[in-house]
Amino acid sequence: MGYSLLSGDESRNTIYGIYFHVRLVEISYL
């Protein structure tokens, strides 16, 4: 269960990282 929780945290961090990068690109293109 701990491993599954850790894996979920990792994927969530990756999603946040991609979302943040997309927002930065949006701002730079604006």
Query: What amino acid occupies position 25?
Result: V
Structure confidence at residue 10 (pLDDT): 72
Tell me how many domains the chain contains: 1
Handedness of CA 28, 26, 18, 15 (dihedral sign): positive
**Which residue range forms the structural domain that includes residue 25?**
1-30
Q: How many helices (H) and strands (E) does the chain have?
A: 1, 0
Q: What six digits make up the tokens of 22?
A: 């997309």
Q: What is the DSSP letter of 20?
A: H
Spatial separation of the C-alpha atoms in residues 6 and 30, rounded to whole Å: 36
Residue that is written with structure tokens 């850790």 in the block: 6
At 24, is the pLDDT very low, low, confident or very high (cuts 50, 70, 90)? confident
Write the pLDDT tens digit of every residue in 2-12.
455 556 677 77
